[in-house]
Amino acid sequence: MTSSISPLASTVFDSVLFRDAFGTAKMRALFSDHALVQRYIDVEVALAKAESRTGVIPAEAAEVIARESKIERIDFDHMREETDIVGYPILPLVHQMAKMCGEAGRYVHWGATTQDIMDTAVALQMRDALDSIEADIRDLRAILADLAKKHRDTPMAGRTHLQQALPVTFGYKVAIWLAMFDRHQERLAQMRERVGVVEFAGAAGTLASLGDKGFAVQQALAEELKLGVPATTWHVARDGFAEAVNLLALVTGSLGKIALDIMIMASTEFAEVYEPFVKGRGASSTMPQKRNPISSELMLAAAKAVRQHAGLMIDAMIQDFERATGPWHAEWIAIPESFILTSGALHQAKFALGGLIVDEARMKHNLGISRGLIVAEAVMMSMAPYTGRQQAHDIVYDACRTVNEQGGTLAEALAALPDVTKHFDRAAIDRMTDPVNYLGLAPQMVDRAIALSSEI
């Protein structure tokens, strides 16, 4: 039996086993070698057209370059061999393009430097990749808005320091998740104009090789590629690309927070939510009862990996003089992997949250396991107008100790205290100690979050 497994696959990004767990086919395609070289060609062709428009090279030459420069004619093996020698892929590409174009080939790469072509190609990749990320975030926000609305009034225990604190609703929890991604959507839109810019400046970034035509060619190139024009050369000013990867770190960091919540809430002792059921998903090789939160685990792993790449991009910003001696190369690792990991994490999030199983009964049960102690603050605040805040605190504190040491419920302990019963009958005590009656403005916060999200 033949196998489809490539003997060259060595990372989760190209592994036939793991690639769909950590990424998506769409994002892998955007950052594939084929797509990258096509973008290099796109930039070289656009440059020829821009220089033709501005009278730098003959129009006939630009036409030939545009017509003859086809990726199907690229000898990738030869390009790889030459890249190994040169250290960069553009000169090997230019050699092949010049040969394809015959006499017009002399005008390929006119006035450009390697990094001009590579940076602009990556800007084009990022533009397409951000389109995909933006669409995924928009889809995820719709899922979260629906989930928050559905569970607006579903009471559950709110937890601080992993201890039950005060009652909240599950919709309130989800609304907090939603608001994070609303902000990410806004950040992405604001960032685009800083990232989607052309790089064309020549050897030391001064456009000296084009004389007084430099700015005109730069503008025309940007128009050809539908990119912006930067204020200055950014060969060694890498804040735009660093910002993009750090935004991905924020996105995956938020996914990691959601994943951690889901994983803890899905634990046997909590049993409040579960990822969608798919036969065999999350199964253990030895424990048949297991139902591991696989999507959440992958989201958390992606968050950690992209965070590492975000740091790498910041480190790569520290570049020497007008052309760096190495930090630039770190971007070649960080950028594709960060986008692939982020797309994979968003895919997992849409699956997990789109079909999330919420056990409302279990949430209600867990809300009651403290026997009313979770609303001790509510009782204290109800009594404070009669006794003063501090005395109310001391009374309720003593009642809580009784529950912890002797059992029973907070309502029963309070009903045994004359300092309480002279102000409240048993029905009032029961109302004060019912967690459902102490949700604060959690449901209203859900309404506000959904309304604000709909405006983005």
**Catalytic residue numbers, as ranges:** 161, 284
The upper half-sphere exposure of residue 448, i.e. CA atoms within 13 Å in the direction of its Cβ, equals 7
Q: Pairing state of beta strands 273-274 and 155-160?
A: unpaired
Per-residue CA distances from 344 to 29, 268, 295 (Å)? 13, 27, 10
Both tokens of 269, joined, read 């002792």
Both tokens of 420, joined, read 């309480």
Both tokens of 36, joined, read 């990258």
* CA dihedral (359, 365, 370, 373) positive or negative: positive
Both tokens of 426, joined, read 């048993």
Which among 196, 202, 204 has a CA at the least distance from the CA of 215? 202
The C-alpha atoms of residue 11 and residue 31 are separated, in whole angstroms, by 15
Beta bridge partners of 349: none
Both tokens of 307, joined, read 């965070």
Query: How does 82-108 read in b/e, with b if 16+ C-beta sit within 10 Å?
Result: bbeeeeebbebbbbbbbebbeebbebb
Which single residue is written with the structure tokens 């939603």? 178
Amino acid (1-letter code) at residue 15: S
The four Cα atoms 225, 234, 131, 275 give a dihedral, to 10 degrees, of 160
The C-alpha atoms of residue 216 and residue 354 are separated, in whole angstroms, by 50
Which among 112, 74, 67 has a CA at the least distance from the CA of 95? 74
In three-state form (DSSP H/G/I as H, E/B as E, the rest C), the secondary structure along 332-370 is: HHHHHHHHHHHHHHHHHHHHHHHCCEECHHHHHHHHCCC
Per-residue CA distances from 279 to 171, 224, 259, 276, 290 (Å)? 28, 50, 21, 10, 12
